[in-house]
Every structure is written in C-alpha cells, then in structure tokens.
C-alpha cells in the first residue's frame, strides 16, 4: 500500500499547463525526489498534495483511499507536513510561540517548549524554545521550521528546496535527521536542484519536464550529469573562466563602523574593500553575517558620507540607489520575492523599476511603452525565462524563472559594477551554469562583478578573487589560486588571522585602488 499515490494529476492555469497527467507514488520509509528544471511543475504538484492549490483533474490516494485535499489544515490532519522554501516564521515571536501557532488545540507554552526540547534532542536539531526568531541564524530558522513540522508527527513530509540556505555542515545534519525519520516509517517528498544531494539522500526520483513525468530513476545508480540530462534533455556547458588581463580598480568602500538600520541587523566593522573592473570578486559567508547590510551600503540604500565610497574617481557615498544605478551600479538582491520584484506587476513593469534611467525607458518623464516591452522581452529571451511574455505577472513565474529574469534585467543594463546576491538561488543546474558564465563574461568586458553566495563551489567557479564576510567583518581578499575551499570554509566562522589582514593580495589590491582613486 502506497502512503500517497497521485494519478493523472493535472493543473491548468490560464496561460500554461503546469502539471499534465502526473502519476507518482511514494511509500512509507522512502525518500522520493522530484526533479525538474525551473518551471517543470514541481512546486505546483506539491501544492496540490498539500491542499494549497486545487487540481484541475486527477486523483489523489492516501493509503489507497481516494481523497480530496481542500486545505493545508486538512493535509495536516491527514499527517502531511510541508517545509516551504521560504520561511514562514514571525520574527518578533519566540520559537515556542511560533510553534504553538501551528499546533492544533490549546497547549500551554511550557508544554510546547517541552515538546520542542524532546524533538530537538531526539533528532539532534538543537534549538532553544525561548529564543526570539529574529535572533536566529538562517540555519536555526530552518531547524525551527523542520521541528514545527515534526511535532505534527507527519506521515508524509514534503520538503521544497530545504537546503538552499544551509551550510554544508548543516545539510549533513539535516540528512541524518531525514534518514532517521524515514527509518521510522515516514515518507518524504524532496525537491532540490542540488543533484549531488539527491544522489546521496534519495531512494527514488521522478523527473518532470514541461509539467509531465518524463522518467524515473534510482539516484544512487546515476550521476549528477545523467540526472541533469534526464531533466533538461541534453548536456549543459560547464562555465569557463578565461584569464582576466585587464583588471583595474573601480570601486573602493571604506567604512569603519556602520550600525544597521534594521534593529535585528548586523553592524559592519572595518570594511575596506577594493573592487576591480574586469574581474569577479566572490564574497562567501553564512547568511545573516552582514551580506544584506553590505549590499545596501554598496547599492545606495544606506547612504554614508560621500568619501566613504569612491567609484571611478567620484565620491558617491551620499548618493541613493537611483543615482548609483544611473552610473551603472546595478544590484540583484537576494530576496527575489519582495525586494527584487513585485509579484503583482508585469515583467515589463518590473523591468522599468530598475532599468528606467540606464536603458532609457522614459523620456521627459513619459514612459516609452514599446521600449519597456522590448527590454523585458530581451531579458526573457536572453536568459531563457519561461514566461508568457512581457505582460505576464511576476507572481505567475516559477521561483527559478523569476530569478533568471531579475538577473537578466540587471545584466542587460551594461552595468559597470554588478552586485549579485545568491545569483543562482532556486535555479536549475543548466540555468545556473548559464548565469555563472554570463557573470564571468560580463566581468571580462570591464564590469566589476561582486557575487555573494553561500555556495563555495559556485564562488570558486566564477571568482578571480575571494573573501569572506562573518559577523559584519570582511576577511583578507585572496586570489582563488591562493586559497582553498577548506580555508574559506574555516573563515566563514570568522576564524581568520586578524593580523594577516594587511598582507598578501588584499593589501596589494587596496594599495592599487588607493592610488587609482586618489
């Protein structure tokens, strides 16, 4: 008897068939991966199973009994739990208060805290029930989401890209937990674009392409390459990084201390960063270490005194985002859902939001509608975004496709500096390789590209120089040949030698820039 079986499940949206005749079964004690490129229909399938979206047609069987799942509450009552990719916790509440909100009945907070402690000890997911969520790192928040789900004693656990913001060590710990839950008889549906994770963790995989099931496999018998081929139908090019011959200093940021505007943010300390046109600077770090504050400083959301940021000889620290964008300092924020795009606007309108001045989308205060549409169309075509066209609402795109559009919108503005946070978050392997190559190519045309990412493999693939941000401080900068994944991984915990800060590549880099901007 399958724990869950779906038969010919179909979801038709006005503009697209997101799932077409999808059939799949997942058994008790099995971790079942759902694979597919961006827009293949994975999230839609999970949303139908969790009662968020109603199927257009098709059947769902829970332990051989046909059911209709009308709401997440009904799904939870059946024993289905879901951990969404984006957290759904209240920052101003404690872990226990957040958890109490999702549990049925009226348990006292001390009882909820006791249950949290029990589950966290049982599965090695350390969390203090009395801590406020705003105080927790992203990895800890992920643990709270998982504990909250486990407290409901799910018999089917759905996880939609749960590791996208976890460090490798945290992923290891999560996998131990998931294997334990599986061995206790839970069925797990697991979505991820990280194919090596699927290989190590999952017992079975179903592959979706264009909303249809195109194959099944046992991941342990495959390679990441063969699974990628099943997903996208062909091989994809691995990025190449030609030597950078023409790197020249372009942007210098110096900031002794900067308190965050956000009460729960991170203070930046002793930032002294020299960034060169013609190459990619990778900034590694566990999320929540000051990346957002650094991006706001570079992008102009946080203004400082004018001499603290020098761009191509001009002091611009006091300028806001629009003036910086007009100069060619473009920015891809980490949060594609709210900061980077507005879901209720069309893609064309979203393009206008950041590209108006740089691409000339207005004239004497009037919108140039056809030019706006044309630019949005260019972003869609060049970055292979699966969307109906410039008039599609941003919220109708799958997560990865919206990410591709946002990256395209910034890259096609011929930026002189591009700040790119988590460029491939939620993007499939083929598209991720494409974006990485575009970042490298952009830098080789003279742009100073800054990539902030938690994925060290990604940073080592694209960067010419690399450093770490931890606790609001920036480590020395190394050329990629001078360092290793191990060293950068250690530095991510803030463990670099502060005395070596003024030595090596970073110092040379800084001197060169000081000289150029003086």
Q: Alpha-carbon distance 445 to 245, whole Å?
A: 11
Determine if 113 is a binding residue for ligand ATP (CB under 6 A).
no
Q: Tokens 């990412």 label which residue?
A: 453
Determine if 18 is a binding residue for ligand ATP (CB under 6 A).
yes
Determine if 42 is a binding residue for ligand ATP (CB under 6 A).
yes
Q: Alpha-carbon distance 230 to 507, whole Å?
A: 47
Q: Find, among 68, 50, 285, 309, the residue nearest to 167 by Cα.
A: 285
Radius of gyration for the alpha carbons in the chain, expressed in angstroms and rounded? 24
Q: Alpha-carbon distance 244 to 445, whole Å?
A: 10
Residues 34 and 191 sit within 8 Å (Cβ to Cβ): yes
Q: Alpha-carbon distance 447 to 416, whole Å?
A: 5
In the complex, minimum distance from the CB of residue 355 to ligand ATP, in angstroms, rounded to a whole number: 22
Segment interacting with ligand ATP (CB under 6 A) among 14-22, 225-233, 238-246, 353-361: 14-22
Residues 6+ apart with CB under 8 A from 89: 98, 133, 141, 144, 145
Q: Tokens 């994770």 label which residue?
A: 197
Determine if 398 is a binding residue for ligand ATP (CB under 6 A).
yes
Determine if 408 is a binding residue for ligand ATP (CB under 6 A).
no
Beta pairing, strands 156-160 & 187-191: parallel
How many residues are present in the chain? 518
Site for ligand ATP in 44-83 (CB under 6 A): 44
| Residue number with CB closer to ligand ATP (163 or 401) | 401
Question: DSSP string spanning 284-340?
Answer: E--TTSSHHHHHHHHHTSS---GGGEEETTEE-TT--HHHHHHTTEEEE-S-TTTTS
Binding ligand ATP by CB under 6 A: which of 22, 40, 439, 456? 40
Determine if 13 is a binding residue for ligand ATP (CB under 6 A).
yes
Q: Alpha-carbon distance 195 to 227, whole Å?
A: 7
In the complex, minimum distance from the CB of residue 42 to ligand ATP, in angstroms, rounded to a whole number: 4
Segment interacting with ligand ATP (CB under 6 A) among 11-19, 115-123, 171-179, 308-316: 11-19
Binding ligand ATP by CB under 6 A: which of 6, 36, 279, 334? 36
In the complex, minimum distance from the CB of residue 189 to ligand ATP, in angstroms, rounded to a whole number: 13
Segment interacting with ligand ATP (CB under 6 A) among 214-222, 235-243, 363-371, 392-400: 392-400
Beta pairing, strands 280-284 & 448-453: parallel
Q: What is the 3-state secondary structure (H, E, C) of 263-282?
A: CCCCCEEEEEEEEEECCEEE
| Residue number with CB closer to ligand ATP (107 or 345) | 345
Determine if 424 is a binding residue for ligand ATP (CB under 6 A).
no
Segment interacting with ligand ATP (CB under 6 A) among 283-291, 334-342, 393-401, 507-515: 393-401
Determine if 282 is a binding residue for ligand ATP (CB under 6 A).
no
Segment interacting with ligand ATP (CB under 6 A) among 32-40, 128-136, 461-469, 500-508: 32-40
| Residue number with CB closer to ligand ATP (47 or 143) | 47
What residue is closest to ligand ATP based on CB?
Answer: 400
Binding ligand ATP by CB under 6 A: which of 4, 5, 43, 466? 43
Instruction: Report how many residues bind ligand ATP under the rule CB under 6 A.
Output: 20
Determine if 41 is a binding residue for ligand ATP (CB under 6 A).
yes
Nearest 10 degrees: CA dihedral of 137, 143, 149, 151?
A: -120
Residues 328 and 415 sit within 8 Å (Cβ to Cβ): yes
Beta pairing, strands 57-62 & 156-160: unpaired
| Residue number with CB closer to ligand ATP (399 or 472) | 399
Segment interacting with ligand ATP (CB under 6 A) among 15-23, 97-105, 147-155, 309-317: 15-23
Tell me which residues touch ligand ATP (CB under 6 A): 13, 15-16, 18, 36, 38-44, 386, 396-401, 426
């Amino acid at each position: 008897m399958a724990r869950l079986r779906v038969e010919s499940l179909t979801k038709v949206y006005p503009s697209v068939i997101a799932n077409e005749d999808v059939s799949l079964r997942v058994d008790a004690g099995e971790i079942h991966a759902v694979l597919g490129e961006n827009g293949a229909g994975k999230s839609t399938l999970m949303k139908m199973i969790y009662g968020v979206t109603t199927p257009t047609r098709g059947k769902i069987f829970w332990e051989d009994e046909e059911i209709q799942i009308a709401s997440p509450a009904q799904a939870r009552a059946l024993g289905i739990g879901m951990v969404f990719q984006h957290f759904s916790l209240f920052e101003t509440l404690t872990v226990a208060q957040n958890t109490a909100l999702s549990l049925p009945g009226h348990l006292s907070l001390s009882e909820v805290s006791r249950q949290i402690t029990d589950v966290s000890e049982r599965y090695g997911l350390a969390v203090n029930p009395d801590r406020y969520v705003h105080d927790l790192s992203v990895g800890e928040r992920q643990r709270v989401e998982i504990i909250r789900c486990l407290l409901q004693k799910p018999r089917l656990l759905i996880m939609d890209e749960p590791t996208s913001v976890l460090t490798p060590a945290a992923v290891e710990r999560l996998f131990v937990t998931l294997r334990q839950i599986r061995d206790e008889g839970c069925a797990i549906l697991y979505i991820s674009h990280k194919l090596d994770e699927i290989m190590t963790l999952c017992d079975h995989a179903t592959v979706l392409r264009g909303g249809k099931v195109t194959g099944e496999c046992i991941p342990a018998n495959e390679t990441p390459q063969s699974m990628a081929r099943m997903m996208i139908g062909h091989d994809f090019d691995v990025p190449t990084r030609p030597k950078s011959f023409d790197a020249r200093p372009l942007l210098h940021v110096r900031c002794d201390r900067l308190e965050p505007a956000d009460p729960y943010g991170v203070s930046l300390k002793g930032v002294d960063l020299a960034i060169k046109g013609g190459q990619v600077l990778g900034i590694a770090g566990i999320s929540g270490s000051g990346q957002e504050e650094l991006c706001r400083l570079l992008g102009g959301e946080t203004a400082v005194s004018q001499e603290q940021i020098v761009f191509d000889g001009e002091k611009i620290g006091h300028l806001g985002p629009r003036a910086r964008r007009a100069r060619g300092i473009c920015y891809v924020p980490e949060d594609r859902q709210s900061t980077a795009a507005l879901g209720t606007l069309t893609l064309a309108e979203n393009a206008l939001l950041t590209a108006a001045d740089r691409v000339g989308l207005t004239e004497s205060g009037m919108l140039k509608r056809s030019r706006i549409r044309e630019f949005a169309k260019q972003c869609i075509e060049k970055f292979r975004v699966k969307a109906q066209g410039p008039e599609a609402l941003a919220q109708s795109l799958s997560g990865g496709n919206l990410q591709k559009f946002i990256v395209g919108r910034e890259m096609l503005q011929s930026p002189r500096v591009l700040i790119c946070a988590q460029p491939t978050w939620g993007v499939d392997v083929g598209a991720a390789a494409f974006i990485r190559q575009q970042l490298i190519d952009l830098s080789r045309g003279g742009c100073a590209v800054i990539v902030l990412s938690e994925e060290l493999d990604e940073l080592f693939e694209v960067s010419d120089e690399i450093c770490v941000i931890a606790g609001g401080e920036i480590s020395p900068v190394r050329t990629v040949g001078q360092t290793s994944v191990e060293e950068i991984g250690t530095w991510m915990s803030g463990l670099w030698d502060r005395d070596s800060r003024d030595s090596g590549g970073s110092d040379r880099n800084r001197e060169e820039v000081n000289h150029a901007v003086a």
